[in-house]
Amino acid sequence: GKVVYSGWKGNYGKYIKIRHAQNYTTTYGHLSRIGKGIGTRKEVKQGEIIGYVGSTGLSTGPHLDFRITRNGRYVNFVKMDFPRAEPVDPKYSKQFERTKKEYTTCLKKLKESKENLMRFPDKRQARRKYWFIPFPLDRIIR
């Protein structure tokens, strides 16, 4: 894809927006830092390091705010069928499957509920009714 924005973006803090084929865009917010050489108009490829997880902007703790849009509308990336990538090297397959199972379990447990949401009274945020409050993965996995 092509980086269309790289820098500070208000509540998102350090932020990167990438335009992809077929009117898709991906955004990455709250980064601690942006990868070396990643700037507007830079072509990037899958697997390239573009940034590092952080807690910049309006953030309650280190995490990545990752979003996908198509034609300007948000897309549930968990339900997307992505093009196939290079297979995992067989020497890493057991580790990969273990990690995949662990994160899949986490994602299934992460359901938006009132326990994970809080009202945000700040007038600047009036457009958003709720904010997601991230919590440690070790609490989810148990």
Residue 49 carries which side chain, given as an amino acid letter?
I
Q: How far from 105 is each of 13, 99, 100, 124, 133, CA to CA, in Å?
A: 29, 10, 9, 35, 19
pLDDT of amino acid 78:
81
Whether residue 51 sits in one domain with residue 23: yes
pLDDT of amino acid 114:
44
- pLDDT means per 10 residues in the chain (142 residues)? 97 96 94 94 92 92 92 88 80 91 77 48 47 44 38
Whether residue 64 sits in one domain with residue 1: yes
pLDDT of amino acid 24:
93
Domain assignment of residue 58, yes or no: yes
**By C-alpha distance, which of 37, 2, 34, 1 is closest to 15?**
34
The sign one gets for the Cα dihedral 133, 129, 56, 71 is positive
Give me the CATH number covering residue 20.
2.70.70.10
| Alpha carbons 33 and 53: distance in angstroms, whole number | 8
**By C-alpha distance, which of 21, 26, 24, 33 is closest to 5?**
26
DSSP lists the bridge partners of residue 27 as 17, 67
Whether residue 107 sits in one domain with residue 55: no
Q: Do 50 and 5 touch, CB atoms closer than 8 A?
A: no
pLDDT of amino acid 110:
66
**Which of 54, 78, 102 lies at the terminal end of a domain, its last residue?**
78
Domain assignment of residue 28, yes or no: yes
For the record, the structure tokens of 135 come out as 């919590």
Whether residue 93 sits in one domain with residue 38: no
Split into its structural domains, the chain has a count of 2
